[in-house]
Amino acid sequence: MKEGLKHIVILVCLLIVAFVANIILAGSSVLKFSEINFADYIFTNIRLSKALTALLCGISLPIAGQILQVLFRNPLAGPYVLGISSASSLAVGIAIMTLNTFGVMGYLFFSKTAIILAAFAGSLCCTLLILFVAKKVNSNVFLLLIGLMLGQIFGALESFIEYFSTDKGLREFVMWSFGSLGNSSYIDISIFAFIGIILLVVLFLLTKPFQVFLVGQNYANSLGVDFAKYRMYFIVISSLLTALATAFCGPIAFVGLSIPIMTRLIYKTSDQKFQLAACLLLGGITMLVCDTLCYTILPDRVIPINVITTLFGSPFIIYLLFKTRNW
Amino acid sequence: MDITLNIRDLNIGYVSKKQTKVVYKNITASFAPGMLVGIIGKNGLGKSTLLRTIAGLQEKLQGEIYFDERSLEQLSKQELAKMIAVVLTEKVGGFNLTVIDLVSMGRVPYTNAFNHLQEEDTKIIEECISICGLNDHKLKPINELSDGLFQKAMIAKGLAQQTSIILLDEPTAYLDFPSKHQLFELLKKVSIEDKKCIITSSHDIELVLKYASHLLIMSEDHEFEFVETDKYKSSELFKKVTNGYFV
């Protein structure tokens, strides 16, 4: 446990460094020391809000991923694999196209709220579908395949809508699907943080059943943990976290799947309190670093966040897999 | 802690919307502390279904299951978890689970809401690991264990649960010959020394005859017999189920 605490402290320090570095570096120019105060527009309304969004995103998606991976006892599970992200995307696609058709897209507050609500609704619908299927079948592989197929269906429907969309709507949707950390106002960030923190607190209160989920349905039940009941809770928590991130930042790929795998490969413990904490911190660090890279790799050009997370994250995981071999 | 398990006219099987599939009918038996019961019978007769039904992992169709004076339905999941431990055929592992992590799971019915292990819990866990001969493998990931060690780890988890009844579903499948013997020796020792009631299904009839105190015999024709192992030679059903090989 002491060992664990040491790792957590190190990660927290790294997170603070990544956060500060992100604020200073991730933009059109390097911030001067004199510009770092709340009166400065760029610092407060662009850099700080973007860094906070990156942090929230980096916290919520890996936690969602870890929940699903433990739930299905499969490292391939993640918000993306179960079709939850795709469902969010489809719903947002429908919302953007509809709003454009009726010509009300221009009203910024209205359309933003619509996108957020649509992402939530999409994610929840998919979650309910997954829960429904989960009730019918016991096999995890079966359930994952169903999730993948659902994702494919949502993807196809998305293409269908895109095909018939107006140019303007299409452009907006494509921009949204690149994922963006820079569009959040402080109201958005407050909502994101508020709901996110509530979900994390609930999850913290449920760490005992979560730990027991490691041994699967039958053993969990035989240990007095009501698997069916808690499975509901966990699926709801993970999809709300996914919905939040997708609603405010677009479909951010990869971190939800990769960070939980990374923490398990780096920290060889099955203690889920530690693994969740590590996911949360490492996820935050990764998003902040990736966002910094987006702005610093090419001069005068910003690379979409999804490109960076995948391009740098995947090789790192491959490296870890070869290094550790067994897991 | 000594609980007698009574089963009366139990029908087991599966219920779906369309139909009810009865797997086995009219099972009646009484299991007392200190017994090591071997369930024998062909594959697909319902040995696993019976064990799962007794453990409360699956609904019974009819009949009664009593733990002393209380029926299975009257017990909460938590209470049941303190009475019955199970070792099933399914594999557990991954997510950095080590032997000691797995055995610690046995304390889950007793720990607080944050699963905090008290000193006593830790002591019990260490004891169970030692009883099962896993001292050298405590920190090994479960994935890396041989089948024999894995079964022992699962049994250690069951022991850590401190129940008076332990159910095992074919624990000796996939094991090599010495491991099979070791496993049954362990079960025998625990049933006698700790006064536990152990019910295990197995296809290793010669081992069951050697170690078990009682036999629960299931046949294809839904015949059913619960006898002391010493008297197996006079059991017609045993002769029938084993094609007369052991008489």
**Where in chain A are the domains?**
2-303
Q: Residues of chain A with pLDDT > 90: what percent?
A: 41
pLDDT band at A263 (very low <50, low <70, confident <90, very high): very high
Identify the top-confidence range among A139-143, A198-202, A242-246, B233-237: A198-202
B83 CB contacts (<8 Å, ≥6 apart)? B3, B67, B75, B163, B164, B165
Longest Cα separation, chain B: 55
A166-199 exposure pattern, b = at least 16 Cβ within 10 A, e = fewer: eeebbebbeebbebbbbbbeeebbebbbebbeeb
Bridge partners (DSSP) of residue A283 are none
Q: How confident is the model at residue A173 (pLDDT cuts 50, 70, 90)?
A: confident
Statement: residue A141 has pLDDT above 80: no
Query: What global pTM score does this model have?
Result: 0.90
Mean pLDDT across A112-134: 84
C-alpha torsion angle, residues B200, B203, B206, B212 (rounded to 10):
10
Partners of B86 on chain A (C-beta within 8 Å) are 218-219, 222
**pLDDT value, residue A108:** 57
Alpha-carbon Rg of chain B, whole angstroms? 18
What per-residue confidence (pLDDT) applies to A105? 57
Return the pLDDT at A109.
59
Query: What 3-state DSSP class applies to B77?
Result: helix
- Contact across the interface for A222 and B57, Cβ inside 8 Å: yes
Averaged pLDDT, A187-211: 95
B29's tokens: 């038996």
Q: Tell me, what amino acid is at B236?
A: E
**What was the pLDDT predicted at A184?**
83
Nearest to B77 among A214, A221, A270 (CB): A221
3-state SS, residue B62:
strand
- State yes or no: pLDDT of A106 exceeds 70: no
- A140 to chain B, any CB pair closer than 8 A? The answer is no
Give whole-number Cα distances, B23 to A226, B47, B83, B201, B217, in Å.
26, 10, 25, 16, 15
Q: What is the pLDDT of residues A272-292, one digit of tens each?
A: 999 999 999 999 999 999 999
CATH of domain A2-303: 1.10.3470.10
Query: From A324, which residue of chain B is nearest by alpha-carbon distance?
Result: B96
pLDDT, tens only, A6-65: 999 999 999 999 999 999 998 888 888 777 777 788 888 889 999 999 999 999 999 999
Q: Give SS3 for A259.
A: helix
Q: How far is B45 from chain A (nearest CA, A)?
A: 21
Q: How many CB atoms lie under 10 A from the CB of residue A302?
A: 16
- Dihedral of CA atoms A314, A316, A320, A323 in degrees, nearest 10, equals 120
Whole-angstrom CA distances from A193 to A241, A245, A248, B109 are 11, 10, 11, 34
Q: Which of B56, B78, B108 sits opposite A212 (nearest CB)?
A: B108
Q: Does B80 lie at the interface with A, CB-CB under 8 angstroms?
A: yes
**Is the pLDDT assigned to residue A90 strictly greater than 60?**
yes
From residue A148, how far is each of A85, A151, A155, A181, A217 by CA, in Å? 11, 5, 10, 27, 22
State residue A157's pLDDT score.
94
User: Does the pLDDT at position A107 exceed 80?
Assistant: no
Q: What is the mean pLDDT of residues A239-264?
A: 88
Helix (H) or strand (E) holding B224: strand B224-228
pLDDT given for residue A229 in this prediction: 87
pLDDT at site A136: 77
> Does A222 lie at the interface with B, CB-CB under 8 angstroms?
yes
Do the strands B197-201 and B165-168 form a parallel or antiparallel pair, or are they unpaired?
parallel
Residues 6+ positions from B195 with CB-CB distance below 8 Å: B2, B33, B34, B164
Residue A138 has pLDDT above 80, yes or no: no
Burial B159-194 (b: 16+ CB within 10 A, else e): bbbbbbbbbbbbbbeebeeebbbbbbebbbebbeeb
Q: Answer yes or no: do B109 and A224 touch at CB < 8 A.
A: yes
Chain A residues near residue B144 by CB distance under 8 angstroms:
326
Q: How many CB atoms neighbour CB A288 within 10 A?
A: 28
By CA distance, what is B167's nearest residue in A? A222
At A287-315, the pLDDT tens digits run: 999 999 999 998 888 888 888 988 888 88
How far apart are the C-alpha atoms of A3 and A263, rounded to whole Å? 15
Residues 6+ apart with CB under 8 A from B126: none
Of residues A81 and B193, more confidence is placed in B193
Q: For the residues A70-96, what does the mean pLDDT come to?
A: 84
Size of interface A-B (CB pairs under 8 A): 82
Q: Within 13 Å of residue A240, how many CA atoms lie on the same side as its CB?
A: 18
B56 — contact with chain A (CB < 8 Å)? Answer: yes
> How does pLDDT run along chain B (247 residues), one tens digit per residue?
688 999 999 999 998 778 889 999 999 999 999 999 999 999 989 999 999 999 999 999 999 999 998 999 999 999 999 999 999 998 898 899 999 999 999 999 999 999 999 999 999 999 999 999 999 999 999 999 999 999 999 999 999 999 999 999 999 998 999 999 999 999 999 999 999 999 999 999 999 999 999 999 999 888 889 999 999 888 889 988 888 887 6
Q: What confidence category does residue A1 fall into, taking pLDDT thresholds of 50, 70 and 90?
A: low
A208-220 tens-digit pLDDT? 999 999 999 899 9
On whether any CB of chain B is under 8 Å from the CB of A75, the answer is yes
